[in-house]
Structure formats: structure tokens, C-alpha cells
């Protein structure tokens, strides 16, 4: 009874994993062999090392090693005259043997919860209907005193299953933004974002008609003439217009310390739909 919330300390061990120290305080109660109730209030320190590696599928995985249990303080309601012999034997034969088997598995349980967070790493993420995205570990996890670094390989596939080539150049840590305390930092390259948008190119193609442009003047040739007076003389009389947007080359993402830019390159072809003849292309704009 009286199980206090554990006090947990974590420290990163370079090239190893995570050092875990857990201070546990509890009261054990039961029947005394001399009659009455026996209560033992104890504080114990549980320490364990967890190594960060990867499993056979390439997912990061923590595994516990070297779990140790040390009694820090023990108090009992037994008469002080009985403490030296009886308590020493009880601690040696019971607490030191039983409690590690009860508490050390808790470390494994916590690590299993953490490992479950890594599982979606290799799950395929749909990019709409244009393709999929997923990751694998490019290198084994690395660790120093302040952070864990996971280098991920991005696998980008088009709808047909064809893999998109991505540059493999990696930035050195010295070129990355400063690491903030107690924060997860995700670094994405401009090449990756450009490639993702390239897979989605077909999604940018669309035909714009009246029912898509709410609140604007009707899409007819006279409206175009008012916007661009230079072509008003060659436009047919008032006819419905459809704007066909088509992407013409891969998007480009540029990232600077202050701003990020996405450039989309497309054409806008303006079509007129006379009631008594086939559609006619009026002109094409580069956008």
C-alpha cells in the first residue's frame, strides 16, 4: 500500500542508449509472526540501461539491459529489539530477491510502449491517390549526451509503384538549426518536398468553370475582354469560357533561414464553348 509515484531520471549514454533511474517508495503490510500487523516502509532505487538499436525490419528499438535493484531505506513498525537479526534476514531473503522480479519488468513495459511509437515508421503513408511515402533507417541510430539522431531514408513511390529518385546528399549537423531543449526536431530537405509535390502533379491539373468560381463575374469572353483590352477585338461574342490548368514541369521548393518558397509552373489555356461548334482554344498563358 502507499505506493508513491516513482521519481524517474533519464540520461542519454553516448553510443549506447538511455540510462534509467527510478526511485520507488512503498509500504508493504501483512501479518507479523509475533502477532498484529507488520508494516515495512521502504525506498528503493531501480537502475537499468536500455540500448537503442534496430530490429530485423529496420525499425528503431529499445531493449533493456542490466537492471539493478538497491534498497535505499527501510523502516518497520517492529520493536527495535527485533530489528537486527529478523529484519536483516527478511531483507536478504525476501525483498532483495522478490522485488527486482516485480519491478524490473516495468522497465520493459515502458520500453515496449516507446517501441510501439516507432512501428508506424515503415507504414506507407498515402499521398492522396498519387502515390505513397514511407521511411526506413538509413544508418543505425546515433546518440550523444544531448540528443538521439535518426537518419531516415525516404521511399517515395508513384501510384504505379515506381520509386522516385531522391538525392542522397546529407547535411552535416553543423549546418542544421540549433537544437532546442526538450524538443523533437525533424529536418526535411527541399529536394524531398519538391519530389513529393512532383508526385502530386496530376492533382494540380483542373478545369475551372463558372460553378467553381463563386462570387466572381461569369467566365465568358466579354469578361476576358474587359480584363485584357488588347484581345477584346478578336474574341467571339459572349460565350462560356473554361480555363484548363496543366502543370508543365516539376515544382521547386527553396528553403532559406527566413522564408520558404514553393514554385509551381503551369499553363492556363482558355477555351470557348460555342453552342453550335466544337470547343476552340483562345490563348495560352504561362503561370
Q: pTM (2 decimals)?
A: 0.61
Q: Which tens digits make up the pLDDT trace of 8-61?
A: 888 888 877 888 898 989 898 888 766 778 888 889 899 998 888 888 888 888
Average pLDDT score over residue span 248-260: 86
- Residue matched to cell numbers 502530386: 200
Asked if the model's pLDDT at residue 268 lies above 90, the reply is yes
Asked if the model's pLDDT at residue 175 lies above 80, the reply is no
- Domain borders along the chain are 7-119, 187-286
Gap between the Cα atoms of 59 and 118, Å rounded = 7
Please work out, in degrees rounded to the nearest 5, the angle formed at the alpha carbon of residue 71 by the alpha carbons of 65 and 74: 160
Q: Retrieve residue 159's grid coordinates.
A: 501510384
* Fold (topology level) of 7-119: Bactericidal permeability-increasing protein; domain 1 (3.15.10)
Q: Retrieve residue 198's grid coordinates.
A: 512532383
- In angstroms, the first-to-last Cα distance of the chain is 72
Place 154 in a pLDDT band, splitting at 50, 70 and 90: confident
| DSSP state letters, 216-265 | S---BHHHHHHH-GGGGGGS-SS-BEEEEEEEEEEEEEEE-SS-EEEEEE
- Residue matched to cell numbers 526536431: 185
Q: What is the mean pLDDT of the chain?
A: 83
- Residue matched to cell numbers 502543370: 247
Amino acid at each position: 500500500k502507499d505506493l508513491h509515484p516513482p521519481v524517474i531520471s533519464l540520461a542519454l549514454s553516448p553510443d549506447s542508449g538511455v540510462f534509467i533511474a527510478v526511485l520507488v517508495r512503498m509500504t508493504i503490510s501483512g501479518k507479523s509472526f509475533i502477532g498484529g500487523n507488520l508494516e515495512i516502509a521502504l525506498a528503493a532505487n531501480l537502475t537499468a540501461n536500455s540500448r537503442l538499436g534496430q530490429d530485423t525490419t529496420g525499425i528503431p528499438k529499445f531493449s533493456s539491459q542490466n537492471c539493478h535493484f538497491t534498497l535505499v531505506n527501510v523502516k518497520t513498525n517492529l520493536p527495535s529489539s527485533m530489528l537486527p537479526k529478523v529484519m536483516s534476514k527478511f531483507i536478504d531473503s525476501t525483498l532483495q530477491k522478490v522485488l527486482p522480479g516485480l519491478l524490473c519488468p516495468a522497465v520493459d513495459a515502458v520500453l515496449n510502449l516507446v517501441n510501439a511509437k516507432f512501428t508506424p515508421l515503415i507504414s506507407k503513408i498515402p499521398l492522396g491517390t498519387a502515390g505513397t511515402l514511407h521511411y526506413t533507417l538509413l544508418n543505425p541510430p546515433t546518440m550523444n549526451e544531448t540528443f538521439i539522431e535518426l537518419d531516415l531514408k525516404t521511399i517515395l513511390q508513384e501510384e504505379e509503384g515506381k520509386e522516385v529518385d531522391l538525392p542522397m546528399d546529407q547535411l552535416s549537423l553543423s549546418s542544421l538549426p540549433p537544437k532546442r531543449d526538450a524538443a523533437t526536431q525533424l529536418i526535411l530537405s527541399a529536394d524531398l518536398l519538391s519530389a513529393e509535390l512532383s508526385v502530386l502533379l496530376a492533382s494540380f491539373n483542373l478545369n475551372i468553370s463558372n460553378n467553381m468560381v463563386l462570387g466572381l463575374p461569369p467566365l465568358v469572353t466579354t469578361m476576358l475582354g474587359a480584363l485584357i483590352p488588347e484581345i477584346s477585338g478578336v474574341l467571339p461574342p459572349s460565350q462560356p469560357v473554361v480555363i484548363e490548368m496543366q502543370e508543365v514541369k516539376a515544382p521547386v521548393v527553396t528553403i532559406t533561414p527566413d522564408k520558404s518558397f514553393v514554385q509551381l509552373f503551369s499553363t492556363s489555356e482558355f477555351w470557348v464553348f460555342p453552342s453550335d461548334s466544337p470547343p476552340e482554344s483562345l490563348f495560352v498563358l504561362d503561370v
